[in-house]
Amino acid sequence: MASSLGLTFHRCRIMHLFPPLRSQCGGQRHANLDPLRTITLAKKHVKLSSMSSYGSSFSPQLLTCSSLVSSILPCRFATIYRSNNKPRPERPKAQTTIDEEEIKKFSALANLWWDETGEFEALHSMNSLRVPLIRDALKDKMAVTEDYNPLMPLQGMKMIDIGSGGGILSEPLARLGATVIGVDASEDNIKTAQAHLRQDPSIVCRVKYIHSTVEDLVITEENKFDALVASEVVEHVADVDVFVECCCKLVKPGGSLFFTTINKTPMSYILGVLMAERVLRLVAPGTHDWKKFISPQDLMFLIENSGCSIRLLHGMKYQPLSKKWCWTSDTSINYALHAVKNKEQNH
C-alpha cells in the first residue's frame, strides 16, 4: 500500500512539473476542440516537403496560386490610421483576442526590441528564414514589367504585419518594396517601432504602425491586403479561433497568409520553455505559456475553416551555439506555415 501511494505521489509531481506529460497521460490534448473537429483532424493528412538536407540559407520552393493584380492606394494609410484612432466602445472580453497580461509583458520590454544581442536576438536571427520565405512566395505572384526592380521584388504589394512589435519584420519587408502596415496591441511597442523607423528615411513612406487589433481592423479593412504575416504571435493571443478568422478576413481572395509559431508537444515544453527561458535564458522567464501553444493540425484546421488552403508547412530549428535558424522537416517545436485565401468563397 505504501509503495503504491509513493508511486502515485511521484507520478503527480512529474505531471505538475511537465504539463505536456499530463496532457498525454489522461488529460485532454485538444481541450479547445469539439468532437467534430477532432474527427476532422484525424482524417486530415498534409504532406510535408523534404528539406532537412538544406541549410538555413535555403528558401523553400512554394506552391503558388495564379498571379494577383494588386491595387495600392497610398492614401489608405491615412484612412486606416484615422478610422482606428477614433474612440470606440470597449469590446466584450469574449470577443477579443487581447490578453492583457501578454500586453503588459511585452510593453515592459519595448525599449529592447532593437538590441540584436538582447531579449529579441532569436527573432532578429529568424529573419534569415522568414523574410526569404515571404519574399519567394510573393514574388512569383508579381507580374514582371519594364520597371521591375529585382532588388525590390515586393514592390506594389500591400502587406499587414500582425503583432509587429518593434518593427523587426516590417522594416525588412518594406526594404523589399512592400507597403507595410504594422499592427500591435501594445502602444509602447508602436512608439518604439515609429522611433526606429525614422532612422531609415528610405522606407518611411512605405511603413505605417497602428495601435490596434485584428478584430477592430476587420471592420474597415476586410479583403484589403495582398499578404498578412503573423509571426510568433499566435501563441500569445487570448482567443486563437477569433484571431485566425480575423486574419483570414483581412486578406484579399488569392492573397497569402504566413504564420510562424510553436507546436504543443512535450519537446516544445522542455526546449521551448524550460531550456529557453530557465536554463539558456534566451528569453525572459514567463515569456511563453505552453498551454497557448498550438499544433500544426489545429492551426491548419482553423485556417482552412476560414476559407484558405495550406500551401506549405515546415519546421524551423534554432541552434543556440551559432544563434542561427535553419529549416528542418521536424515540426515538433517551431514551424512555419503558408496559406492562400480561396478565390471562391462559399457563402
Binding region for S-adenosyl-L-methionine = 130, 163, 184, 231
Binding positions for Mg(2+) are 232, 235-236
| Distance separating alpha carbons of residues 240 and 246, to the nearest angstrom | 10
| DSSP designation for 206 | G
Q: CA nearest 306: which of 173, 237, 220, 214?
A: 214
Binding-site members are 130, 163, 184, 231-232, 235-236
Number of H helices, E strands in the chain: 12, 8
| DSSP string over 46-60 | -PPP--TTS-TTPPP
In one letter, which amino acid is 163?
G
- SS3 state of residue 229: strand
Residues 35 and 76: their CA atoms lie apart, in Å, by 43
Place of cell 510568433: 232
Q: What is the dihedral of CA 255, 261, 265, 269, to 10 degrees?
A: -170
Give the residue from 235, 232, 190 showing the smallest Cα distance to 213.
Answer: 190
Task: Starting at the earlier edge strand, list the strands of the sheet with 308-319.
Answer: 207-211, 179-184, 158-162, 225-231, 251-262, 334-341, 308-319, 324-328
Backbone angles phi, psi at 145, to 5 degrees: -115, 180
In whole angstroms, what is the distance from residue 279 CA to residue 272 CA? 11
